Structures are given as structure tokens and as C-alpha cells.
Structure 1
């Protein structure tokens, strides 16, 4: 995998294939993501969504084909993966080079609304708060590409709505490109500039969405697009 892309492009994937034993998970996949674009991946379980994310994050390099990504990229997982023996602010700057001071963490935590919990232990946080710490940890690295693997999957419905709005606000303020995996079609249509539907290890379908936000989930266009994507996912 390379870490250089042409100007205006954040991700360039060409003929990407990946197999586990004799099972092909990704098959000659092509993908382009432009600077500042919000892209959401949908697909049935096992279609290769999370595998693609891991490859772009540099967590899996046993591939064929080409995957070019920026050097500055961050990952947010479904589980926050906080170190329980480190206070919240230390979790935010965990892994940064040198000895980053607390002010850097405090700035990131303020962005996600957790200024007062900088000194707390992870075990005292709610699920939504822990996920916001995970977002702060990802964004403190000032990524050109933010990779999110079902970041709201473990949250209750109300917390999930708040987290969606937070991610949208952070994306707008940071200007980074986002590639997010989700199983929630409505969530994808609310957040994305472009929705990609994966099938059999390839991008089988894409939908470009209007730039206007917030989007009206009761509009005829929204309902029709949602129905079309659900059909493609085999949901009747």
C-alpha cells in the first residue's frame, strides 16, 4: 500500500483483492474518495466492508492491487477501545509522538463536549461519552481521512442521533474526508455525500446525494432512494 495520492484525491484504490484462505472477500475493487468527501459503505454482512476499512487503515497489508491513502488518517471503531488504566485525556493523546501535553487533549475534548471529563476514568463514562472520547482521539491527529467502522452500532437510539449530528459537525469543521461503514440505510442517507453499496467484494452501486443538509427523511426523493437501496440489500 502506498501513502501518496494526486491532488484532490484522498483515497485511490485499484484492482484491490483480498482472500482469507480460499475465500475471496474483496475482488478487483476500485474506489476513489475526494478531499473532504463524506462516503458511507453499506452492504450485507460478510461483503467486505470492514475488511476494506482495515486495509485503508493499514491494519491489513496482505493484499493484491493498489491502495493509496494519505499518511494522516485515523480510525474509529464500534467499540471505543479506551485504556481503562489511563484517564480520559491521556486516552485522547495515546500514541501521539513525543510527549503531547494535556492542552492538546483538552482542545479535542472540548470539540466533542467533554471538557469536564478530561480527568475521569473510562469506566465512569456512558457508552455515548466513551464513543465521543474515541472521536476526539481520532481527530486530535488532524487526519486527512477519517475511517469509521460502525461507530454508532452499540449506542441506544437517542444517543445515536446525537452522535450522528456530532460527527456531521466535526466533519464540517475539520474538512477531512470520511469513509464510514454502517448497516443503517437512513443514517447513510442523512450523513453521506455518496453512498456505496458493496456486493461480492466490489462496489456494486452508488448514490450521490444533494449537498443540502439537514435532509428531509419524509420527502418523496429520500423515501424512494431509501427503498431502492434496501431492495439492493435484499430487504423487502
Structure 2
């Protein structure tokens, strides 16, 4: 299912003033692997994604990515003065920007919104545009920084299905940051827990997709325990 390394982090240290957020962190993400990263607020999850994306280079240690990187954020970050299709191809060098954008929109089932202004999109539509913008760059590593956190429950489930389908079609390595244990278990092949600036636990998820959380109750309890949460507290 997975092959060579797409991303490699060794001894990563990141400090903000006198606060060390990442403390000698080691991580490998392999080609085609879907990995979820959990951790308490402030544990450094988003910081790690910024390092892997190249947005933060003020670090100690090693961080390398083999290939193209794209990132989708919790907020879609669409430019309100550009129509949807122009948002998708911003910064992409191509002689057929409109065609490229329309093909990406077709993948996220939004072809009819190509000429829409971002302010007219629903939350789910805007997040799908954000995904199309990330995928149009044909990334080897797709970084997802809590992209479903602001969506309602039903829209979030629809986005889970869409992301799974897109991943199965394109097979980039994916690193998803989330606070939602059930979301991590539903989507990922591997679930990591970040604590104390390092990977504190790793769990492999072998159940076939689509998954029922009821199938994964024992694994869910282990992950919650790693996060310092008992089952009765999470209920």
C-alpha cells in the first residue's frame, strides 16, 4: 500500500521564544499513506505542518519532503476578489488555467460554481474549493490542517467521503491534523499522538473503508487513553 518515504523529520526542534513546542520530533510519512495526527491544543500539530509545508524554516533538525507539497487549512482562505476558478489556479503555471480549474472542480463536484464569488459559497462548498486548489498542484504530500473543524456534522461526514475518494484516486501521502479521534480513525491508516513535542504513540488502523467506529471501539479507547481521556469522559 505504501512505498518510499515522502516526508522525513529527524530531531526537529521548534521554539517560540523560551517555549519549545517541538522537541526532537522524529516522523516518517510514506508515499500513499494516510496519517492522522492528534494532540492537545498547543501541542505543535499545526506547527509541524507549517514546517513540512516550508512556511516555517526557523527550526533545528532535519525536515525534508520528496516532491510537491499542498496544504488545506481549517479556513478555506479564498481571495474574495477572485472568482472560484481563479482561486483554484492562483500561482499555477499553465496555458489552460480555466480548463485545469474546471477539471479540479469536477473532482470535488462543484463544476457549476466555477464563476461564483467566494462570498456566495456555503461552508462545505468553500472547503471543497480549498481541496480542489490543493489537489490541482498534484501534490506528493497533502497537508490537511483541521479542514473540517468549522463544518456541521452532516457536511463533515460528506467531506470525509470526498477526501477518502480523492485520496484513493490520486494516492498522495496525507498528513491530517485533527482534534477528533473518530475522524482520525475513520480516515487514516495510521494515527499518531503528539505530546511533549514528540510522537508519543502510534496506532495502525487496518479495518477496511468505509469504517464504523463501533468496529474500532477498542482502538478508540487506546487512542483516548494516550490523549489522557477516559471513555466515560469522552461519552
For residue 119 of structure 1, the aligned residue among 112, 115, 118 is 115
Is the Cα contact below 8 Å between 2:5 and 2:66 reproduced in 1?
no
For residue 158 of structure 1, the aligned residue among 140, 154, 157 is 154
Instruction: Give unpaired runs (5+ residues) of structure 2.
Output: 231-235
For residue 195 of structure 1, the aligned residue among 191, 194, 198 is 191
For residue 222 of structure 2, the aligned residue among 213, 223, 228 is 228
Equivalent in the alignment of 1:26 = 22
Taking the aligned partners of 1:217 and 1:65, their CA distance within structure 2 comes to: 37
Is the Cα contact below 8 Å between 2:85 and 2:102 reproduced in 1?
yes
Task: Name the SS for the 2:49 alignment partner.
Answer: helix
Provide the TM-score with structure 2 as the length reference: 0.95
Taking the aligned partners of 2:14 and 2:134, their CA distance within structure 1 comes to: 26
Deviations 1:70-99 (A, max 9, x none): 331100000000000000000010111255
Instruction: Give unpaired runs (5+ residues) of structure 1.
Output: 1-6
Equivalent in the alignment of 1:83 = 79
Q: How many pairs align?
A: 228
Matching of residue 101 in structure 1 with residue 117 in structure 2: no
Is the Cα contact below 8 Å between 1:12 and 1:68 reproduced in 2?
yes
Note the aligned Cα RMSD (angstroms): 1.1
Task: Name the SS for the 1:218 alignment partner.
Answer: helix
TM superposition shift of 1:100 = 4.3
Provide the TM-score with structure 1 as the length reference: 0.94
Equivalent in the alignment of 1:134 = 130
Taking the aligned partners of 2:142 and 2:26, their CA distance within structure 1 comes to: 19
Taking the aligned partners of 1:134 and 1:141, their CA distance within structure 2 comes to: 12
Deviations 1:169-188 (A, max 9, x none): 00000110000100000000
Is the Cα contact below 8 Å between 1:84 and 1:122 reproduced in 2?
yes
Task: Name the SS for the 1:78 alignment partner.
Answer: coil
Is the Cα contact below 8 Å between 1:40 and 1:180 reproduced in 2?
yes
